């Protein structure tokens, strides 16, 4: 697959403070690539370097085959972005914002088509300050896609949104990818990364500690799968220990807990059926990216960690 972004040994320092250290990754064409980490992990610094908004201290960076430090003007037409600190004048209307951004990026744009493509018809004459958080993000996505860029960079797009607006924004991000645009999504939300991203780079203290698909990360670093179900007093789950992939099987307070590989879940269910046991609350608990993050960094995403 074509490589849209290539980063090798990227480093950014401010005096004695290291913001980004030895970061390397690639982004492939037409994928949603997530950069996941807590506040202060270095995510936004990386994205700003990719756009040429911030100089790197060392390392190699290529975006659409261009060096953003030396060829930022050439790069500008090929990428779109929505930064974490994005805001517009409160009285600016949607149609005015579209024309303004198209002029600033020096790209031809059909205002009416843009409004229709992103479902902004009912908002066209509204001012930015009167829009809800979800409506503002819909506008920002539309502005980021002006001129049909090959790559779009979205930084903390759903921060501060309610659950309904977050899910609507997720649908927008999928639409961006389905249109053929490569997406780099910066987030500190685990569920967002799991739901949207084809691959995820986990950042901690300026470094990438893991990079793979969400499924591969949880399978290799998330710990065992846990299976739980209720049963009658006196039931002993020892026979489940003979099943390939099962690591432990314990009973207590009317609940059986089995741990092991993901492949064990189906075999455990089959073994229970052979013993005429069909618990109605049989549940399989798969590891999440939160488990991966804890395993790789030693702390949870929500915990404040000293630099």
Sequence spans of domains, the chain: 3-213, 224-286
Task: Identify the CATH homologous superfamily for domain 3-213.
Answer: P-loop containing nucleotide triphosphate hydrolases (3.40.50.300)
Mean pLDDT calculated for residue range 296-302: 83
C-beta of residue 169 within 8 angstroms of C-beta of residue 134: yes
**SS3 at position 168:** helix
Which residues have C-beta within 8 Å of that of residue 242, sequence separation ≥ 6?
none
Spatial separation of the C-alpha atoms in residues 65 and 4, rounded to whole Å = 7
Angle at 29 between CA 289 and CA 114, to 5 degrees: 100
C-beta of residue 9 within 8 angstroms of C-beta of residue 59: yes
The β-bridge relationship of strands 199-204 and 32-36 is parallel
Structure token pair of residue 64: 């659409």
pLDDT tens digits, one per residue of 111-151: 888 898 888 888 888 999 999 888 888 888 888 888 889 99
- HSE of 28 in the Cβ direction (CA atoms, 13 Å)? 9
What is the reported pLDDT for 148? 84
Angle at 178 between CA 172 and CA 180, to 5 degrees: 120
Indicate whether 241 pLDDT > 90: yes
Strand partners, 81: 153
Max mean pLDDT range (68-77, 161-170, 296-305) = 68-77
Domain 224-286 architecture: 2-Layer Sandwich (3.30)
What is the reported pLDDT for 104? 80
More confident residue, 232 or 47: 47
Binned at pLDDT 50, 70 and 90, residue 77 comes out as confident
Mean pLDDT calculated for residue range 173-177: 90
User: What count of other Cβ atoms lies within 10 Å of the Cβ of residue 148?
Assistant: 13
Which residues have C-beta within 8 Å of that of residue 279, sequence separation ≥ 6?
229, 230, 231, 272
C-beta of residue 12 within 8 angstroms of C-beta of residue 20: yes
Binned at pLDDT 50, 70 and 90, residue 283 comes out as very high
Binned at pLDDT 50, 70 and 90, residue 22 comes out as very high
Binned at pLDDT 50, 70 and 90, residue 73 comes out as confident
Indicate whether 307 pLDDT > 60: no
What is the reported pLDDT for 117? 82
């Amino acid at each position: 697959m074509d490589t849209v972004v290539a980063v090798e040994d990227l480093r950014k320092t401010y005096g004695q403070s290291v913001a980004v250290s030895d970061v390397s990754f690639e982004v492939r064409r037409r994928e949603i690539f997530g950069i996941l980490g807590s506040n202060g992990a270095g995510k936004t610094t990386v994205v700003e370097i990719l756009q040429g908004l911030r100089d790197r201290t060392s390392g190699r960076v290529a975006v659409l085959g261009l060096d953003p430090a030396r060829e930022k003007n050439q790069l500008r037409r090929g990428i779109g972005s929505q930064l974490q600190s994005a805001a517009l004048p409160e009285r600016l209307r949607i149609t005015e914002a579209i024309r303004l951004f198209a002029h600033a990026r020096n790209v031809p744009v059909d205002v009416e088509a843009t409004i229709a493509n992103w479902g902004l018809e009912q908002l066209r004459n509204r001012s930015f300050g009167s829009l809800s958080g979800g409506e503002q993000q819909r506008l920002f996505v539309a502005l980021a896609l002006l001129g049909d860029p090959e790559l779009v960079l979205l930084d903390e797009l759903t921060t501060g949104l309610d659950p309904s607006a977050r899910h609507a924004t997720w649908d927008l991000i999928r639409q961006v990818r389905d249109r053929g645009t490569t997406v780099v999504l910066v987030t500190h939300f685990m569920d967002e990364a799991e739901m949207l991203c084809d691959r995820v780079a986990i950042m901690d203290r300026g470094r990438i500690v893991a990079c793979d698909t969400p499924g591969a990360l949880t399978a290799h670093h998330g710990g065992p799968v846990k299976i739980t179900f209720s049963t009658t007093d006196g039931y002993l789950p020892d026979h489940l220990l003979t099943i390939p992939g099962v690591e432990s099987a314990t009973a207590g307070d009317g609940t059986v807990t089995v741990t092991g590989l993901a492949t064990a879940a189906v075999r455990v269910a089959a073994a229970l059926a052979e013993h005429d046991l069909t618990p109605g609350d049989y549940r399989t608990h798969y590891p999440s990216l939160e488990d991966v993050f804890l395993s790789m960094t030693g702390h949870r995403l929500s915990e404040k960690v000293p630099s």
